[in-house]
C-alpha cells in the first residue's frame, strides 16, 4: 500500500497521507511496484514540464519546484535539449573566462564539488539504495568550447563543408573500471590522489579538480546518510524503519570505506553512476555480473543473501539510471562468465519493466540459456529489453587492430552500440559521425558543375569517394584536435578516477600524447561511424536505373528537382519515380544492395587506411543513434525521393518500405552484409509484431532465436529489437497520453513512448509499419 510523498521536497519527506499500517510488512515485489509508480510519477512531471526526451530515459528526479528552472542545454551525447535544473545561484557556479564559461580541471572540479555539496538528498524508504540525482552539470555550461582555443581555419572549413559536428568537444563514451572504486572506496581514491600529487607537483591544478570531485562525493553521500537516519526517527512501519537505518549505516560507511557486501557494492556503483551521469552523461557500467560476482558468491556461501533480495537490490540500482550493462560473454581466456547472477540482473529488469539498457551476449561458447531467457522476456514484456550482442564478431574484429585475443575479450559493452576496455581505453564511441548524405550532396553538385565531361554514376562515384576521403581526413584531424585540447576545456574528472593512468600520471583520459608517458590512458581507439547508408545507396541505385538506364530523367532535370525540393506535380511524380525503383537496399541481390556494400567497404578502407596525423587508431562502424532527424535537417533533397530536411536513414538499416513484405530475414541479411568488421558495430534495428509469426509465444521465441543466431553467424554485431503490437503503436501515435507505460527501443536506447517527440515517434511507427 503506497503512501503519498511530496516528491518536490528535499529528502523525499513523507506527507503522512495513508501511511503503511505499523505492522504491515511489504514484500520485495510490493516495494518494487511502489518504486516503479514513483518513477512513473517523476516521468509524468518531466513531461508536464515540456521536456521532450529523444534520448535515454535517465531517471533524473524533478528538482524541488521552488528552486528549479527550464533551460536550453546540450545532452551528454551532444544533442540540444530542453532541460530542467536547479537554479544556478543555488550552487554558486563560477566562471573563469570572459565568455561566461568555466574551463580546465581546477575550475570544473570546483564547480562540480559545489553542485555535489548542495545537491538535495533523496531517500525513498522503500528502496534498498539511497540517493537520486536532479540535475545535469552540463546545463550550467554556458559555453561548450573555450574561445581561446579556436579550431584551425582549414579544419573548420572542412568541418563546415561536410557538416562534421562530432569529435571536438565530445565527452565520456568510454568505460571506467569500477573494480578500482570497489576496491579502494572514496577515501582510498582520495589518498591515491594525494600520493600521486607528490609525484607530479606540476599537475597541481588537475589533482585539485580530482580532489574536489571526491570531496564533493563524500559530502553528497554523507548528507543522504544523515537524511536516511532522520527519516528513520519518524518512520512508523518497522520494516521501513529498519531499512532506513540500514541505509544510513551503509552510506555512513561508504563515505570512506569500500563496500563489504552485495548491497553495499550496488550502492557504491549507484553513487558513482549517478555522479558520472550528472557530470557529463556517462552511463557505462559494463560487465555488472562480473563486477558483483565476488560479493554474491561470498554472501551465498555464508547464506546471508537470498536471490530475491539480490534481485531487489539490482532492481533498485537499475531504477535509478538506464546504465549500459553487458551480461555473459567470454573472460580474457575465452571462458563464458554467464552465471546465476547474470540471470538475476535480467530478472531485475524483467520485474521493473521500465527503460533499461542491458545487452545479452550471444556466441558459440556462451550459455544459450541466457539468450533464450532474454528472448522470452522480450516477448513477454514488449519493452525492447534486452538487446543482443554478437560478441564473437566484435572480438574477432577488434583483434584485427593488432590486439591479442585476451585483451579483445576484456572489452565490455558500455553504450548504445559500443564497447571499450574498462579503465584503459579512450574511444569517443558514438560521438564521431560522417553523414554520407552530405558527402553525396557535395559530390553530386561538384560533378554537375564540371562541364568538361558528361555526368555518369561512375563519375559520381569518383567524386563521392574523393569527398569521402576528405571527410575522413577532416575527421581524423578533428580527433587529434580533441585529444590535444579537451583536457584544457572539460576534462573527464569523474571517469578519470576509475581509470589506469590519469591519477598516476596527472593526465586526463582525453589527453592523447605522443607516447604512453604523455597519454592519460593506455589505448586510444577512436570510433568513426558512417550514417545515411540507405539514403545514399538508394540514391545511387535510383540514378542508375531512372537516369542512366531508363532515361526517364536527365541529370539536369534531377538537379533541378533537388534544388526545388521536388516541388509541383512534376516534381512529386519524379520523386515517387525515384523512390519506387525496382529494388532498394535490403531487397537482396540488387543494385542498391551492391551500392550499400560498396559504400560500407570504401568507408571502412578509408578509415583503416591510416591513423590520424598524430598516429591514433580509428575504428569504423555504422550508426546514426538519435541523430537521424538532426542530420536530416541539415541535408537537402536526395535522389532516393527524400525531401529536404527529412530524416536520413537509420544506421545500417534499409529505409522503411524497402520490400513490400518487409521481411525481417531480408533486413537481417542486408545489415550483416555491410558490417565494417574491425570491432565496432553496425547494429540491426528490428521491430516485429509477433502476431505476424504466431499466436503461440513459444513459436515466436524459437523464430526470434533462429533469426538472432543466424544474423550473428552471417557477421552481425548487435541487434536492437522491439516486440511490439502494431495496432497499439498506431493508437499510441494518435494519442500518446493514453499509453503512459509504453516503452520502445528507439535505437541503442529505450524510452517511454510519450516522452519522445512527435518526429521520433513517427520514425518508430514508419519502421514498424514497414517491417510488419
Angle at 504 between CA 500 and CA 510, to 5 degrees: 60
Most confident of the following: 8-22, 98-112, 659-673: 98-112
Cβ count near 601 (within 10 Å): 13
Which residue, 21, 221, 200, is CA-closest to 133? Answer: 221
SS3 (DSSP) at 132: coil
| 369, three cell numbers | 540459456
568-580 pLDDT, tens digit each:
999 999 999 999 9
pLDDT of 502: 99
SS3 (DSSP) at 105: helix
pLDDT of 77: 61
- Is residue 718 within 8 A of residue 397, CB to CB? The reply is no
142-193 pLDDT, tens digit each:
999 999 999 999 999 999 999 998 899 999 999 999 999 999 999 999 999 9
pLDDT of 7: 33
**CA dist list (Å): 355 to 188, 309, 365, 478, 490:** 34, 21, 29, 34, 29
SS3 (DSSP) at 612: coil
Own/partner pairs for 99-102, CB < 8 Å, 24+ apart? 99/142, 99/143, 99/146, 99/147, 100/142, 100/143, 101/141, 101/142, 101/143, 101/144, 101/146, 102/141
- 585 phi/psi in degrees, rounded to 5: -55, 130
Total H helices, total E strands in the chain:
27, 16
Which residue would you say has higher pLDDT here, 75 or 38?
Answer: 38
425-461 pLDDT, tens digit each:
999 999 999 999 999 999 999 999 999 999 999 999 9
- The chain-wide mean pLDDT, for the chain, equals 94
- Report all structural domains of the chain as residue ranges with CATH numbers, in order of start: 425-722+733-747 (3.20.70.20)
Strands 387-390 and 718-723: antiparallel
The H or E element spanning position 419 is strand 419-420
Scanning 382-435, the segments in alpha helix (DSSP H) are 391-399, 405-408
Q: How confident is the model at residue 3 (pLDDT cuts 50, 70, 90)?
A: very low
Which residue would you say has higher pLDDT here, 702 or 80?
Answer: 702
**CA dist list (Å): 606 to 175, 350, 395, 472, 600:** 27, 42, 21, 7, 10
Q: How confident is the model at residue 48 (pLDDT cuts 50, 70, 90)?
A: confident
| 511, three cell numbers | 589527453
Q: How confident is the model at residue 283 (pLDDT cuts 50, 70, 90)?
A: very high
226-247 pLDDT, tens digit each:
999 999 999 999 999 999 999 9
| 147, three cell numbers | 574561445
Question: Whole-angstrom Cα distance, residue 574 to residue 204?
Answer: 65
Predicted confidence (pLDDT) at residue 5 exceeds the cutoff of 50:
no
103-115 pLDDT, tens digit each:
999 999 999 999 9
711-760 pLDDT, tens digit each:
999 999 999 999 988 899 999 999 998 998 899 888 888 889 998 989 88
**Which residues share a beta bridge with 359?**
326, 387
pLDDT of 13: 34
Q: How confident is the model at residue 76 (pLDDT cuts 50, 70, 90)?
A: low
581-615 pLDDT, tens digit each:
999 999 999 999 999 999 999 999 999 999 999 99
Predicted confidence (pLDDT) at residue 74 exceeds the cutoff of 80:
no
Place of cell 518531466: 46
What is the rounded average pLDDT of the residues 60-68? 90
Which residue, 53, 102, 103, is CA-closest to 80? Answer: 53
Predicted confidence (pLDDT) at residue 365 exceeds the cutoff of 80:
yes
- Any idea which of 357-371, 599-613, 647-661 has the lowest mean pLDDT? 647-661
Q: Quote the DSSP letter at residue 169.
A: T
pLDDT of 23: 56
Scanning 8-162, the segments in alpha helix (DSSP H) are 28-48, 88-91, 105-118, 153-162
- Any idea which of 47-51, 67-71, 125-129, 709-713 has the lowest mean pLDDT? 47-51
The rounded percent of the chain whose pLDDT value lies above 70 is 95
pLDDT of 697: 93
Amino acid at each position: 500500500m503506497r503512501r503519498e510523498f511530496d516528491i518536490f521536497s528535499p529528502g523525499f519527506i513523507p506527507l503522512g497521507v495513508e501511511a503503511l499500517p505499523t505492522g504491515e510488512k511489504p514484500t520485495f515485489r510490493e516495494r518494487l511496484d511502489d518504486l516503479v509508480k514513483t518513477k512513473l510519477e517523476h516521468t509524468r512531471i518531466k513531461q508536464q514540464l515540456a521536456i521532450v526526451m529523444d534520448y535515454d530515459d535517465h531517471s533524473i528526479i524533478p528538482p524541488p519546484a521552488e528552486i528549479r528552472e527550464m533551460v536550453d542545454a546540450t545532452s551528454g551525447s551532444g544533442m540540444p535539449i530542453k532541460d530542467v535544473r536547479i537554479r544556478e545561484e543555488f550552487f554558486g557556479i563560477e566562471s573563469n573566462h570572459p565568455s561566461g564559461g568555466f574551463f580546465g580541471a581546477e575550475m570544473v572540479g570546483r564547480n562540480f564539488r559545489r553542485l555535489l555539496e548542495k545537491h538535495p538528498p533523496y531517500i525513498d524508504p522503500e528502496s534498498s539504495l539511497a540517493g537520486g540525482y536532479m540535475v545535469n552539470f552540463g546545463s550550467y555550461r554556458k559555453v561548450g568550447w573555450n574561445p581561446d582555443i579556436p579550431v584551425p581555419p582549414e579544419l573548420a572549413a572542412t568541418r563546415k563543408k561536410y557538416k562534421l559536428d562530432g569529435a571536438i568537444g565530445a565527452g565520456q563514451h568510454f568505460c571506467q573500471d569500477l573494480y578500482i572504486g570497489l576496491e579502494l572506496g572514496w577515501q582510498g581514491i582520495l589518498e591515491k590522489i594525494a600520493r600521486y600529487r607528490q609525484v607530479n607537483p606540476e599537475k597541481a591544478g588537475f589533482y585539485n579538480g580530482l580532489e574536489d570531485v571526491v570531496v564533493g562525493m563524500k559530502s553528497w553521500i554523507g548528507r543522504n546518510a544523515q537524511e536516511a537516519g532522520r527519516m528513520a526517527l519518524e518512520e512508523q512501519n518497522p520494516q521501513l524503519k529498519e531499512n532506513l537505518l540500514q541505509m544510513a549505516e551503509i552510506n555512513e560507511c561508504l563515505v570512506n570505506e569500500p563496500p563489504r557486501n552485495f548491497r553495499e557494492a550496488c550502492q557504491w556503483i549507484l553513487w558513482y553512476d549517478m555522479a558520472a551521469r550528472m557530470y557529463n552523461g556517462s552511463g557505462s557500467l559494463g560487465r555488472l555480473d562480473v563486477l558483483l560476482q565476488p560479493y554474491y558468491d561470498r554472501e551465498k556461501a555464508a547464506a546471508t543473501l537470498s536471490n530475491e533480495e539480490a534481485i531487489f537490490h539490482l532492481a533498485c540500482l537499475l531504477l535509478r539510471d538506464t546504465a549500459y550493462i553487458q551480461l555473459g560473454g567470454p573472460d580474457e581466456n575465452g571462458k563464458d562468465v554467464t552465471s546465476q547472477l547474470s540471470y538475476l540482473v535480467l530478472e531485475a529488469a524483467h520485474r521493473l519493466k521500465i527503460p533499461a539498457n542491458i545487452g545479452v551476449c550471444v556466441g558459440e561458447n556462451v550459455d544459450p540459456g541466457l539468450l533464450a531467457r532474454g528472448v522470452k522476456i522480450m516477448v513477454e514484456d514488449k519493452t525492447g529489453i534486452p538487446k543482443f550482442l554478437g560478441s564473437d564478431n566484435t572480438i574477432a574484429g577488434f583483434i584485427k587492430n593488432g590486439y591479442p585475443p585476451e585483451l579483445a575479450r576484456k572489452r565490455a559493452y558500455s553504450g548504445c552500440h559500443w564497447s571499450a576496455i574498462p579503465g584503459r581505453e579512450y574511444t569517443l564511441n558514438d560521438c564521431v559521425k560522417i553523414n554520407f548524405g552530405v558527402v553525396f550532396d557535395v559530390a553530386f553538385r561538384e560533378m554537375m558543375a564540371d562541364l568538361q565531361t558528361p555526368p555518369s554514376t561512375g563519375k559520381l562515384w569518383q567524386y563521392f569517394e574523393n569527398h569521402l576521403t576528405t571527410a575522413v581526413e577532416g575527421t581524423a584531424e578533428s580527433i587529434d584536435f580533441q585529444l590535444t585540447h579537451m583536457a584544457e576545456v572539460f576534462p573527464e574528472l569523474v571517469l578519470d578516477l576509475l581509470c589506469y593512468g590519469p591519477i598516476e600520471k596527472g593526465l586526463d583520459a582525453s589527453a592523447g600524447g605522443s607516447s604512453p608517458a604523455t597519454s592519460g590512458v593506455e589505448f586510444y581507439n577512436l570510433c568513426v561511424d558512417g550514417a545515411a547508408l540507405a539514403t545514399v545507396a538508394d540514391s545511387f541505385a535510383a540514378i542508375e536505373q531512372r537516369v542512366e538506364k531508363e532515361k526517364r530523367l536527365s541529370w539536369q532535370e534531377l538537379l533541378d528537382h533537388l534544388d526545388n525540393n521536388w516541388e509541383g506535380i512534376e516534381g512529386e511524380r519524379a520523386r515517387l519515380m525515384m523512390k519506387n525503383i525496382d529494388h532498394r537496399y535490403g531487397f537482396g541481390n540488387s543494385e542498391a544492395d551492391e551500392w550499400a556494400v560498396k559504400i560500407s567497404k570504401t568507408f571502412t578502407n578509408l578509415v583503416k587506411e591510416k591513423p590520424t596525423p598524430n598516429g591514433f587508431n580509428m575504428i569504423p562502424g555504422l550508426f546514426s543513434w538519435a541523430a537521424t532527424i538532426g542530420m536530416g535537417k541539415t541535408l537537402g533533397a536526395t535522389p532516393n525521393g527524400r525531401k529536404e530536411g527529412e530524416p536520413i536513414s537509420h544506421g545500417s538499416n534499409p529505409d522503411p518500405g524497402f520490400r513490400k513484405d518487409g521481411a525481417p530475414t531480408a533486413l537481417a541479411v542486408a545489415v550483416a552484409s555491410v558490417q565494417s568488421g574491425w570491432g565496432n558495430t553496425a547494429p540491426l534495428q528490428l521491430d516485429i509484431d509477433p502476431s505476424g509469426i504466431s499466436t503461440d509465444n513459444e513459436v515466436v521465441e524459437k523464430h526470434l532465436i533462429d533469426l538472432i543466431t543466424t544474423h550473428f553467424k552471417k557477421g552481425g554485431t548487435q541487434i536492437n529489437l522491439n516486440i511490439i503490437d502494431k495496432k497499439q503503436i498506431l493508437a499510441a501515435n494518435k494519442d500518446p497520453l493514453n499509453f503512459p507505460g509504453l516503452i520502445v527501443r528507439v535505437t541503442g536506447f529505450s524510452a517511454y513512448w510519450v516522452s519522445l517527440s512527435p518526429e521520433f515517434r513517427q520514425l518508430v511507427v514508419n519502421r514498424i509499419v514497414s517491417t510488419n
